[in-house]
Amino acid sequence: MDLILALDVDNRADAQRLAAQTADSVDLVKVGLELFTREGPQLVRALRQDGHRIMLDLKLHDIPNTVAQAVRSCCGLGVELLTLHAGGGPAMIEAAVRAEEAEGNGVKLLPVTVLTSMNAEQLQAIGVARSPESQVQLLARMALQAGAPGLVCSPMEVETLRQQHGTQPHLVTPGVRPAGSATDDQQRIATPAAAKIWGASAIVVGRPIRMAEDPAAAARNIKDACR
């Protein structure tokens, strides 16, 4: 199981420093909206040049043609994983998959099912009466049928998704917290060891590493818990 570090900082120097500090135990670094909207594609290229493998977490969600063009741009950046919102629907995901295949760089497109910060109450507020688990299952089935090679979901949903879809899908799970650490704004969480037992392909961890007094040691401890 890979450890992906969320580089949720707001500048290039901090991002490169944190990535370098933790490189021994971290498998991929995740560039998300906060960093990408400040530092852009140049930072992604710089991290690649530093030797890092990259998950680009842009959670694309737009009409199919726009998402397809954005996927083409992202494929040129040398990233390994790219996220989009499953809520964009099958036509959007199919267009994204076709765009990725046309580029041929082997980027794994990962539709995000239900954000790990959402609970039943928040789903209801956007008109979804199903439980988070059942909504994840519905979106997962749709996204995999539309050709996505994997998904982003909470660790708590991985076991069921493995039963329903087997070992093939690349299941990446944020919402991971070592035992005893703060949950922050995450709602559907589990420990790294539980995520592994349930069958996650990779876990995404941000604050428990970034905010630690010694980020390198925190990353090492989490990686050890994943073995």
Q: From the CB of 33, what's the least distance to ligand C5P, in Å?
A: 7
* 16 binds ligand C5P per the rule CB under 6 A: no
Query: Is 108 an active-site residue?
Result: no
Q: What is the per-residue DSSP string for 148-163?
A: -SEEE--HHHHHHHHH
Question: Nearest approach, Cβ of 176 to ligand C5P (angstroms)?
Answer: 7
Of residues 22, 25, 186, 201, which one binds ligand C5P by CB under 6 A?
A: 186
We find the least distance from the C-beta atom of residue 9 to ligand C5P, in angstroms, to be 11
Interface with ligand C5P includes 155 (CB under 6 A)? no
Query: Do 162 and 140 meet the contact criterion of CB atoms below 8 Å apart?
Result: no
First-to-last CA distance in the chain? 8
Q: Which residues contact 226 (CB under 8 A, 6 or more apart)?
A: 1, 3, 192, 193, 195, 196, 203
Sign of the torsion formed by the C-alpha atoms of 41, 46, 49 and 50: negative
> Given the complex with ligand C5P, which of 92 and 136 has the nearer CB atom?
136
Q: Would you please indicate which residues are annotated as catalytic (active-site) residues?
A: 59
The residues binding ligand C5P (CB under 6 A) are 6, 8, 32, 57, 112, 115-116, 152, 174-175, 184, 186, 204-207
